[in-house]
Amino acid sequence: MGIARDTKYIFVTGGVTSSLGKGIISASLAKLLQARGYSVTIQKLDPYINIDPGTLNPYEHGECYVTEDGAETDLDLGHYERFLNITTSRANNITTGRIYQSVINKERKGEYLGETVQVVPHITDEIKHCIKLLGETNKYDFVLTEVGGTVGDIESLPYIEAIRQLKFELGKNSLAIHLTLIPYLSAAKELKTKPTQHSVKTLLEYGVQPDILVCRTEKTLNQSLKDKIALFCNVDTSSVIESIDTSSIYKVPLLMKEEELDVVVLKKISMDTHGDPDLEKWNTFLYRLENPEHIVRIGLVGKYIELIDAYKSIIESLIHAGATNDCKVEIKLLQSERLNEKNITKKLKDLSGIIVAPGFGDRGIEGKILAAKHARENKIPFLGLCLGMQCAVIEFARNVLKLKNAHSTEMNTNTPYPVIDIMEEQKKVTLKGGTMRLGAYPCDINTQSKTFSIYKQKHISERHRHRYEFNNEYLSDFENNGMKAPGINPNANLVEIVELIDHPWFIGVQFHPEYKSTVANPHPLFVSFVKAVLDHK
């Protein structure tokens, strides 16, 4: 056993409105602390009653992010991993559903025998336990805990109460940051502090005095405004941090550095503030992001195009890959339901690359299959992700192998050619939550493939989230006709990757490489895809 670390806990709450970017502020602060040499992790507490967002529609909650250990989590965990280049786990995303499930299971086991089980202390104790669990691993100097929702919501009350108790118990080893909005009223030409004052008052009613206020704003806060906020909210003026709107989330760490958020945090918990965070690599990335030499347009074909959050990790992976190629990637979101034989050429005509997105169910499936066909026939670089790979397989079966009405049994249980079929171990599964093939699985790469030239590794590991798979009964037929399977799961012999021989760049993957791309380590598949798109252009 090493020496126990004196882990510091930082709580981040939000006020006034949702969507202020708590996840990005948390990730940016964590980045600055990490860049000062500290080990940091971030956790998200979600006050809804679902056990996890795996059963939520992306319209409700954006993308469902998957961790190495197979947890279906909030998309903020994606930001944490992308900013910090760390892996998170099930312990990094807790929901009210999980808290209650655990408490109720304990009650049934008799762990509270004789007691009335209540929100305080039993639910709050469980929340505190989940927060401290990460610190108790002895791996982190800092554990940042972001509480979802807005202060004042009924459902976040137990979390705020847990923070109140923890702040009292941990004393100097803890800190509360409150993110609020300073709206600009154009009619009055003024920034308004009242919503922030009210939000802090609400927090105070629950017994939590924030130590630092991060104020989201579209205009610069002048000193007198900062003084006013400080006066009304019992914080030092230096603890009123401006968070001005910016063009890229990746600039936020730099803005927070300018505002000295890291220095204020370290001072408050009596830690060394000497030196500067080392952001050299981050700055190099930002420079390349902001000064592209080229520009390409890539089509992302999916069914949630009204909502870019549904494809967050894919979009961020393209940004990382673009910067690596000194290239700005413009993403055109295409609604697959609106693609048909007649309009496909016109709709895809100005695109130099096509991605077909992951997804579930029948809606828009024919448009996705058509997009794969268009990319194959016109030799446009193509990347199929999970369902996108399955669509490429279905398309190849129908149009090259001439297997009429070939399909996935997910969409058509009666297809004569089930080229994508439910996995054996999935056949007996009836429960929906957390029962897919989830998390990291190994994959062996054939060295005689394009995929190998991209990964430059024989053994890889990627994250999965699906129930259906390539049907091996058809494998030789595919391989003999030009669609190869260069990536195989060594334990279950499942096809994880397909690629076309007679095509400049056409790869489909059963897994989700987008979950593993970070600023420090852009994913090789995306990097190679963007390069191919650039060459094609």
Question: 381 or 384: whose CB is closer to ligand GLN?
Answer: 384
Of the candidates 122, 503, 512, 523, the residue annotated as catalytic is: 512
Taking residues 423 to 462 in sequence order and writing x for each that binds ligand GLN by CB under 6 A, - otherwise, the string is ----------------------------------------
The answer to whether residue 386 is catalytic is yes
Instruction: Decide whether 33 or 387 has the Cβ nearer to ligand GLN.
Output: 387
The nearer residue to ligand GLN, 66 or 215, going by C-beta atoms, is: 66
CB of 122 to ligand GLN, least distance (A): 36
**Residue 359 found at the interface with ligand GLN (CB under 6 A):** yes
Q: How far is the CB of 69 from ligand GLN (least distance, A)?
A: 17
Q: Which amino acid is at 469?
A: E
Q: Interface with ligand GLN includes 468 (CB under 6 A)? A: yes
Cβ partners under 8 Å of residue 416, min gap 6: 403, 404, 405, 406
How many angstroms separate the CA atoms of 481 and 397, rounded? 10
129 is catalytic: no
Q: Is 268 in the site for ligand GLN (CB under 6 A)?
A: no
In degrees, rounded to 5, the angle at the alpha carbon of residue 176 between the alpha carbons of residues 175 and 180 is 150
Q: In angstroms, what is the minimal distance from the CB of 466 to ligand GLN?
A: 3
Task: Rank residues 167 and 466 by Cβ distance to ligand GLN and give the closer one.
Answer: 466
Q: Which stretch binds ligand GLN (CB under 6 A): 31-39, 104-112, 282-290, 463-471?
A: 463-471
- 82 binding ligand GLN? (CB under 6 A): no
Q: What are phi and psi of 509, to 5 degrees?
A: -125, 135
Under 8 Å between Cβ of 141 and 173: no
State the Cα–Cα distance between residues 444 and 460, nearest whole angstrom: 6
Residues 383-412 within binding reach of ligand GLN (CB under 6 A): 386-387, 410
Question: Rounded to the nearest whole angstrom, what is the least distance from the CB of residue 464 to ligand GLN in the complex?
Answer: 8
Q: Give the number of other Cβ atoms within 10 Å of residue 526's Cβ.
A: 27
Residue 459 C-beta: closest distance to ligand GLN, Å: 23
**Binding residues with ligand GLN: total (CB under 6 A):** 10
Residue (282 or 468) nearer to ligand GLN, CB: 468
Least Å from the CB of residue 278 to ligand GLN: 37
8 binds ligand GLN (CB under 6 A): no
Q: Give the interface segment with ligand GLN, choosing from 10-18, 112-120, 136-144, 355-363 (CB under 6 A).
A: 355-363
Is the previous residue joined to 522 through a cis bond, with omega within 30 degrees of 0? no
| Parallel, antiparallel or unpaired: strands 407-408 and 93-95 | unpaired
213: Cβ–Cβ under 8 A, 6 or more apart, which residues?
177, 178, 179, 180, 196, 200, 229, 233, 235, 239, 240, 241
Q: Verify binding: residue 358, ligand GLN, rule CB under 6 A.
A: yes
Check if the beta carbon of residue 382 is closer than 8 Å to that of residue 507. Answer: yes
> Tokens 């690596």 belong to which residue?
324
Is 514 marked active-site?
A: yes
Q: Out of 360, 409, 520, 537, name the contact with ligand GLN by CB under 6 A.
A: 360
Q: Closest separation between CB of residue 199 and ligand GLN, Å?
A: 38
Q: Which of 402, 324, 315 is nearest to 357 (CA)?
A: 315
Please tell me whether residue 467 binds ligand GLN under the rule CB under 6 A.
yes
In this structure, the strands spanning 174-181 and 142-147 are unpaired
- Give the Cα separation of 134 and 11 in Å (integer): 14
Q: Which is the catalytic residue, given 64, 130, 327, 386?
A: 386
Phi (first) and psi of residue 111, to 5 degrees: -70, -20
Per CB under 6 A, 71 contacts ligand GLN: no
In the complex, minimum distance from the CB of residue 321 to ligand GLN, in angstroms, rounded to a whole number: 20
- Sign for the CA dihedral angle at 171, 1, 33, 286 comes to negative
Binding mask 188-227 for ligand GLN (x = CB under 6 A): ----------------------------------------
Q: Distance between CA 530 and CA 537 in Å, rounded?
A: 10
Q: What is the DSSP string of 424-466?
A: GGGTT----TT-SEEEEEEEEE-TTSHHHHHH--SEEEEEEEE
Is residue 466 within the footprint of ligand GLN (CB under 6 A)?
Answer: yes
In the complex with ligand GLN, the residue whose CB is nearer, 350 or 362, is 362
Structure tokens at 61: 């909650």
Active site residues: 386, 512, 514
- Per CB under 6 A, residues contacting ligand GLN are 358-360, 386-387, 410, 465-468
